[in-house]
Structure 1
Amino acid sequence: MAGGNPLSMSRAIAVDLGTANTLIFVKGQGLVLNEPTMVAVDNRSGLVVAVGHEAKRMRGRTPKNLRLVRPVKDGVIVDFDLCEHMFKQFLQRVLTSRWGKPTLLVVVPSELTGIERRAFKDAAEFAGARRPVEVIEKTIAAAIGLGLPLYEPSANLVVVIGGGTTEVAVISLGGIVTENSVRIGGDEFNNIIVAGFKRIFKLDIGENTAEEVKIHLGSAWPLTEEIVGDVGGRDVATGLPRTQEVTTEQIREILDDGVNKIIDAIKKTLERTPPELASDVISNGMHIVGGSALLAGLQERITHETGIQAFIPAEPLLSVIVGAGYSLDNLGAIKGSSPQGEE
């Protein structure tokens, strides 16, 4: 009887532990959690006060005794203990059964070192996952989530623009042929906006404000109808609150260097692609996913700059986690394709 074996009651779970957001997919249920990868810590006791959305709501408003920590930076775990604590809390939220440890598949950037990959596995195991924890590369998961013909002898170009990094990969016959990664994503766009406001408008703004500017006024290509908005902050010279009127054209110019870094990463990947596969990419186009793919006009800008048609799905943030979730049915193949030296 299956109910008599605790292991038979364990759940299969896919986790995308990203720089900006953590998403969890439970087999048989689908996406069950989408929370910021953020932890609030009490400086006096060292105890975790909040994680996820609750922690993010404190950003820019924390008293001196609290600090906000992002345990994953540029796709790499930088604070293992806090990452483990956050991971455990997220798992506890989505697991309804106490029987058996869950089987976990964790999404990782493709260019991590063996040690960096091992950190993701260890964090999952210490958080309560069954050993061994398997990993899947982010661009491969994205291709699966998009429903691309992954195992055919034809190339597909996938671009994942996350919170901390942008990953570009040409995929054929189930594997990555050539790839490139740059440390540019949603977080860096926010930082660029903060720096741009200080330099151009002499106005200090916070991360939350920068993110709102990026979402509502940010773009990578001229818009059909340009927008004017008011942004509040602190005057650099006087230290007093002030409102600045800005246009989408001005924000587009501020973001231009960051967008160019993404385009350069795509071009460098294409330059290293074998001629036969390059022909496939021209025919098939490129597929752009990740939360930062939502930047207005990015599809048009990349198509214009590379000469290759870019496609962005309706929900680009979900492509990676959905692909990882679909892969839960084929963990044996994933284990067999993992690089050596990770166990």
Structure 2
Amino acid sequence: MAKSDLGIDLGTATFVVYQRGQGIILEEPSVVAVDKSKKKLLAIGKEAKDMVGKTPSQIQIIRPVQDGVITDPSIIEEVLRYFVKKAKSKGFNMYKPRLIIGIPALTTDVERRAVKEAGSRIGASKVFLISEPLAAAIGSGIDITEPNGHMVIDIGGGTTDLAILSLGGCVISETIKVAGEAMDQEIIKYTKRRYKFLIGETTAERLKIDIGKAFSQEENLEMEVKGQNIKTGLPSNLKLTSDDIFYAIKPILNEIINKIKNILEKTPPELAADIMQNGLIVVGGVARLRGLDKLISEQTGVRTYIPEEPHLVCAKGTGILLEDIELLNKVQVN
């Protein structure tokens, strides 16, 4: 494959682009801003996310991938066009690039076809699709072609994908629509219920990332945020702690843990033995939550690993596939 080729992770929370021979060249929030009156795309990524909660009525904030589903294929086409344009702006020759696109596990045949067609319309010579759990496993350094069972838990923005992998495919694969964004909503509700204080989604996400923890014994940090005091109706400040975030997101963590246990119970004995030996691999943006590996290990009795930069492993997996066409042909979604 040529050096103009790109690997793309179309995540619910983040879009990540891998350039062959260069590594990660772009990491942007999965958000776009659209002018409804002019039917024109105004911003993509961080620029669009900075507009959340601050837009006039004619500007709409859209998440092109929500709850593991591609909500608007036409927007995805503009997003892919933006990625290629960004790569060109960095001085790369982007003539007819090949694209390997990691897609959510819940996407339908219609959505997959729409993504491939969108890639063709922006000038890609060929578009390959790969399921995000498979791409994440490859990016984590797992040899998925061996007759050896591995379990990957991908906790992203909108969904948690759980997959038992062996011989280049998913033996068991399930998705629940509970992940990072659900945690943000729980933090908002907790803050309103306990402190009579209103915060927005962006603030809740920042609290989760900066001081959040999944294991009670992790260090208790503190952070001051801005919001609205419900009693006075006036703007105000509030200090929250890691313990606050832990108790807020605990119901979501419990739901994910229960699903992991459910999958392990369904796993055939030979694969279960492999997983006990190999451990559980946790990836995705939420994998950065402090103590998550300790919580899962404690609750399941299985060693749990979080690779370096777990939010980027899917894009790194597409990067590995850019170099290994034989493996790509085995794992691509037809």
Q: Which bin holds the TM-score, normalised by the shorter protein?
A: over 0.9
Q: How does 1:267-278 map to 2 (within 5 A)?
A: 267-278=261-272
Q: 1:178 to 1:124 in 2, by over 3 A?
A: same
**Which among 8, 11, 25 is matched to residue 18 of structure 1?**
11
Structure 1 position 287, deviation (Å): 0.8
**Which among 298, 306, 322 is matched to residue 316 of structure 2?**
322
Q: 1:9 to 1:173 in 2, by over 3 A?
A: closer
Q: How does 1:68-147 map to 2 (within 5 A)?
A: 68-95=61-88, 96=91, 100-131=95-126, 133-147=127-141
Write the deviation string for residues 259-278 of structure 1: whole angstroms up to 9, x where unpaired. 11221221121111100110
Are residues 1:255 and 2:265 paired? no
Fraction of identical pairs, as percent: 39
Structure 1 position 285, deviation (Å): 0.5
Alignment-derived partner of residue 48 in structure 1: 41
Give the CA RMSD over aligned residues: 2.0
Counterpart CA distance in 2 for 1:241 and 1:249 is 24
Q: 1:196 to 1:125 in 2, by over 3 A?
A: farther
Structure 1 outlier segments of 4+, above 6 Å? none
**TM-score of the superposed pair, with normalisation by structure 1:** 0.90
* Number of equivalent positions: 332
Structure 1 position 99, deviation (Å): 6.3
Letter in 2 for 1:28: G
Unaligned runs of 5+ in 2: none
Are residues 1:175 and 2:169 paired? yes
**Which among 200, 210, 215 is matched to residue 204 of structure 2?**
210
Q: Secondary structure at the match of 1:200?
A: helix
Alignment-derived partner of residue 156 in structure 1: 150
Counterpart CA distance in 1 for 2:11 and 2:327 is 23
Which stretch has the larger CA shift, 226-235 or 172-181?
Answer: 226-235
Counterpart CA distance in 1 for 2:272 and 2:188 is 38
Structure 1 position 98, deviation (Å): 5.8
**Which among 220, 233, 252 is matched to residue 239 of structure 1?**
233
Letter in 2 for 1:87: L
Structure 1 position 73, deviation (Å): 0.6
**TM-score of the superposed pair, with normalisation by structure 2:** 0.92
Are residues 1:311 and 2:317 paired? no
Unaligned runs of 5+ in 1: 1-7
Structure 1 position 168, deviation (Å): 1.0
